[in-house]
Each structure stands twice: as C-alpha cells, then as structure tokens.
C-alpha cells in the first residue's frame, strides 16, 4: 500500500509580511508572500497598520498558496502557524485564521516559534534543486530585524541558545543606520546595494565589547551618528558625496561583528558546521564572508536561498512538518505570544 503524503499549510504573520505556504512531504509546493508597502513612509513597521493589512491579505494569500500548489484544501493534513515572537496584533490574525481553517476542515493545528522556523528553512526541499542541508549538530547564526542569536541545533526540534544581542538586532543596526543616511525603510537591502560600489575601509566605527557569544549594536549606531554629524558640520553634502563608502563601511562593521562571534562559537563548541538564517542572511557581504570561512577556518557553511531568508510561510510549514511527524499538535485555546524563547 502506498504511504499517504503529509501536506501542511503554513501561515506566517508575525510582522509585516502575510505569507502562506504548502509543503508536502518536506517539498515546497507554494510560498506566497504579500509585503506591506504601507509602512515605508513611516520609516518602520506601524503595528496597527500591519494588523489591518494582514486582515486584508490573509484570505487571498492562502487561496493562492493552495491553488499554486495544485492541491485542494481537503488534502491539507494540518495547519502550522507562527505563535510568536512578533507583533501581537499581527500574530492574532494568523493564529485566528489557522484555528478557524483547522476547525472547518477538522484537522489539527501546530504552533511554530518564528525563530525555529528561520533555522529549519534549511530543510525545505525543492523538487527542481539539489538539496543541501546541514547535519546535526550545527551552529546557526539567526539574524533578523528583531533578533540576533547563535543557536546550537541538536536536532529538528532541539535548540540551545548560546548567545544573543543585549540591545539592537543586526537587522535593526542596518535599518537604523540606513535611517541616519536618509534611506527609506527597510534600509538593510539598500545598504547592501550601495555598499557594492563603496570602499569598506573608508570609515571606521567604534567596536562593541560584549562578553562571550553575546552581541551589541547600539554603540555602533551612536558611533555612526556622531561620525556623520561631525562631518556634516564641515560639509553639508557629506552623506550624498560618500553614500557608497558609508554603506560599505557600515556593512563591513556589522558583518565583522557577526563573523567574529560565530567563529568564536565554533571554537568553543568544536562544531564546524555553520548555518545562517533570518532576513539579514540575505546580505551579500555576510554570505561571502561566511563562505570564506570554508577556506580560512575549514568550516562547512550553509546559506539558504534568498527566498527563505526573509519572513515566509515555507519555514513555518517545514517546522510544522517535523512537528506533525512527532504529533506535536496544540489545542484551540492557544494564544499568540509577542515574546517567545527559542
């Protein structure tokens, strides 16, 4: 008798992207993301507007995910949703939708920790591509707009936090620096773009001193701000005339901090498999610097495809797949959590 496939609908709504994905037996069939442009003019995510946009987007996004996957809603075995961490109003939309859908279809629901999702994105399989996932244990540098963590991953659902930021996240460091430069939100991808034409050693900024495997980025932001304010007094067009060099130098500072700590974590644990995850892992300099560690430190590195770096429901659906195998379902009374340990 043929084994029945496992089909999971994943829902992600923790911040400003509404996303739905279908994963069947670990293979991704669809991954639909609706971005919210409404926040751009405010220079950051406005929670009230995010919740409203999720409410508008969720049904069409899920509908498209099911259609593009070429399945019927009756084929879905369970709904996995992001329980947290994230913005409460945003999470509520996804959690409520997941519960209602599951009730209507009479299928179980699976809660997913967004940060675990980012890490497990490494295990999403694609029918068209060769799959390349880390073996256990491995270290994962998870860098997003809200988090910066070094996690020891022992198994699909076994995580140990080794270090994290004590103030801003790496993505925030990119976005806040971009804001100082007058770039629109989110500035991370723009810094990456302009840095390609700049000199990374043109400017140097203060380096944080933080114990063990923790990070700090708030001092860097202040150092960037002071450098720019000082230079602008001498030349009001300083930013305009030095934008590429400023972006390259800022990016170099952030990436150096991240790489130094991941090397330290590898030395301390003796683990030589290193992965990156989260929105900032889309950064080209971080990707290149990590790859270089293969030659300079004999490490084996894993970098997810761009589409699985930033928030997406594929990562939630794959985590749901592993939890489904262990029958880790939750009850209908589950509520979202804005803070959630890994």
**113 contacts 330 by C-beta, under 8 angstroms:** no
**211 contacts 284 by C-beta, under 8 angstroms:** no
Binding partner at 26 among ligand KG4, Zn ion, none, C-beta below 5 to 8 Å by kind = none
How many H helices and E strands in the chain? 9, 10
Distance CA 16, CA 34 (A): 9
Shortest approach of ligand KG4 to residue 112 CB, angstroms? 13
Shortest approach of ligand KG4 to residue 333 CB, angstroms? 26
Looking at the Cβ atoms of 107 and 243, the one nearer to ligand KG4 is: 243
**265 contacts 162 by C-beta, under 8 angstroms:** yes
233's tokens: 């007094």
Q: Which residues bind ligand KG4 (CB under 6 A)?
A: 15, 144-146, 171, 174-175, 186, 188-189, 192, 278-280, 282-283, 310-311
Residue nearest to ligand KG4 (CB): 279
Shortest approach of ligand KG4 to residue 310 CB, angstroms? 3
Give the DSSP letter of residue 183.
Answer: P
Helix H or strand E encompassing 141: strand 138-143
Binding partner at 293 among Zn ion, ligand KG4, none, C-beta below 5 to 8 Å by kind = none
Give the DSSP letter of residue 308.
Answer: G
Shortest approach of ligand KG4 to residue 236 CB, angstroms? 27
Binding partner at 283 among ligand KG4, Zn ion, none, C-beta below 5 to 8 Å by kind = ligand KG4
Binding partner at 223 among ligand KG4, Zn ion, none, C-beta below 5 to 8 Å by kind = none
Looking at the Cβ atoms of 33 and 79, the one nearer to ligand KG4 is: 33
Looking at the Cβ atoms of 22 and 143, the one nearer to Zn ion is: 143
Looking at the Cβ atoms of 144 and 177, the one nearer to Zn ion is: 144
Least Cα distance to 97 among 57, 48, 37, 38 occurs for 57
**40 contacts 109 by C-beta, under 8 angstroms:** no
Shortest approach of ligand KG4 to residue 201 CB, angstroms? 19
Residue nearest to Zn ion (CB): 144
**54 contacts 62 by C-beta, under 8 angstroms:** no
Looking at the Cβ atoms of 146 and 314, the one nearer to ligand KG4 is: 146
Angle between helices 88-105 and 47-69 (to 10 degrees): 30
Shortest approach of ligand KG4 to residue 181 CB, angstroms? 13
Residue in the structure block whose two tokens are 């300099």? 285
Distance CA 239, CA 237 (A): 6
Shortest approach of ligand KG4 to residue 14 CB, angstroms? 7
Q: Which residues bind Zn ion (CB under 5 A)?
A: 144, 311
For the residues of 188-255, what is the DSSP string, one character each?
A: HHHHHHHHTTS-TTS---PPP---TT-B--HHHHHHHHHHHHHHHHH-TTHHHHHHHHHHHHHHHHHH
Looking at the Cβ atoms of 111 and 311, the one nearer to ligand KG4 is: 311
Looking at the Cβ atoms of 107 and 115, the one nearer to ligand KG4 is: 115
């Amino acid at each position: 008798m043929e084994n029945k496939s496992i089909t999971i609908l994943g829902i992600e709504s923790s911040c400003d992207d509404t996303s739905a994905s279908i994963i069947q037996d670990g293979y991704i069939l669809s991954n639909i993301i609706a971005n919210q442009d409404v926040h751009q003019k405010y220079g950051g995510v406005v929670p009230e507007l995010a919740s409203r946009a999720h409410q508008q987007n969720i049904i069409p996004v899920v509908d498209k995910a099911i259609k593009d996957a070429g399945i019927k809603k009756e084929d879905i075995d369970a709904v996995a949703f992001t329980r947290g961490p994230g913005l409460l109003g945003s999470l509520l939309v996804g959690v409520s939708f997941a519960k209602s859908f599951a009730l209507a279809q009479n299928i179980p629901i699976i809660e997913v920790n967004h940060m675990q999702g980012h890490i497990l994105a490494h295990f999403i399989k694609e029918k068209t591509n060769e799959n390349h996932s880390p073996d256990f244990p491995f270290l994962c540098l998870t860098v997003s707009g809200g988090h910066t963590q070094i996690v020891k991953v022992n198994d699909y659902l076994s995580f140990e936090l080794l270090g994290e930021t004590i103030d801003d996240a790496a993505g925030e460091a990119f976005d806040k620096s971009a804001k100082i430069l007058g770039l629109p939100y989110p500035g991370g991808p723009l810094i990456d773009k302009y840095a390609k034409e700049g000199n990374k050693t043109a400017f140097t900024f203060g380096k944080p001193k933080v114990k063990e495997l923790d990070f700090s980025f708030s001092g860097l932001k202040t150092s960037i701000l002071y450098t720019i304010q000082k230079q602008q007094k001498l030349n009001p067009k300083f930013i305009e005339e030095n934008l590429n060099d400023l972006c390259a130098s800022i990016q170099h500072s952030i990436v150096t901090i991240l790489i130094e700590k991941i090397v330290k974590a590898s030395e301390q644990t003796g683990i030589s498999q290193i992965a990156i995850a989260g929105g900032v892992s889309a950064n080209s300099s971080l990707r290149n610097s990590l790859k270089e560690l293969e030659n300079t430190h004999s490490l084996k590195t894993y970098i997810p495809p761009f589409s699985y770096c930033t928030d997406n429901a594929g990562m939630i659906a794959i985590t749901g797949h592993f939890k489904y195998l262990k029958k880790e379902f939750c009850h209908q009374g589950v509520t979202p959590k804005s803070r959630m340990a890994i």
